[in-house]
Structure 1
């Protein structure tokens, strides 16, 4: 405790007393506590104690929601990094895709024979793009992944990339262009009927650059 406030909640206490952005302060506290490994119970107790100390009342619903959402997103992201599968979509996780690409670089000669096909769902076209609607967004990605597995039915790795993209690690052979066209046709006939972008990314010269490429694609 510092100035009577729980650790990581000092900025929230200042926001409550100054009238500045309380919800943003709650989100930052939730993110920081998740990175510290704090439990949900501990996080909520800190919010309640801070709110009662600074404003002599209980936290609002919006404040609790901002805190819990931020804590959950950081915690879920950490779990994604540990798992081979993305828990919401059933696709391979980005961490698993990263390890598969690293295996190619260890083999060296196998890198030029592979490519990454990227499927990017559109932004801002339906309610799944609301900040809190993680489930609907994940279901759209899962459906795109299922179609990708139809077009790439071999040993290719089909993984979730960020919030709106699917990445497919596959062989760069004479069938690649045809498979991408088939996937594009399947996606056009999906229930949502929403346009998607499909393209082929060549793997860069080093494993380090490949990791940077995945990070960039996931943020897009």
Structure 2
């Protein structure tokens, strides 16, 4: 592990509050310890999990629309509203890593095409061909399998967006290999499959303040299990 804590600099929060500073998950929180090589941020849309992940990416020097420290390209609304109000505690600090933001992945793929024109590598880090020439799911998995290396920090915002259930399970195996090589993951997700990664820490942003929850206690697990056991019950209301 490299990143040991995320510190919210609440003393710098604007006095007038507003989004995202007034989000319930952030209230009463000054430091978020990271005690596992894999940490999941979970919660409903708008709960603040992606906002915090963007702030971590900003502090890591990654492009907040997606990429590493070396990816420079323009995207509208690639902001990190909480970026200047977060401090990271490293032991030691690493600069290798990547920020995946599912909603702006198309723009990242276009950026890679432009880079390839000037510095041809045969798309070595992306499966040997343009990400635009692969299906959505294939392009995500090519990124994970070829671009990610151990001894780095990987920030993923809803990586399941393009992955089938089978691909999500394959990604769990890939994550395990990367963790064994020294990778650390922070992942914002809605996927009960990904949350099942052994030994992962799960932080719920649906509570105030955010708290750690067990896998079986998450609504994602409980609701999915109830549905799979008796889907008709959800219609017989």
**TM-score using structure 2 length:** 0.23
Return the structure number with greater relative CO, CA threshold 8 A, min gap 6.
2
**TM-score using structure 1 length:** 0.24
Structure number with greater Rg is 1
More helix per residue: 1
More strand per residue: 2
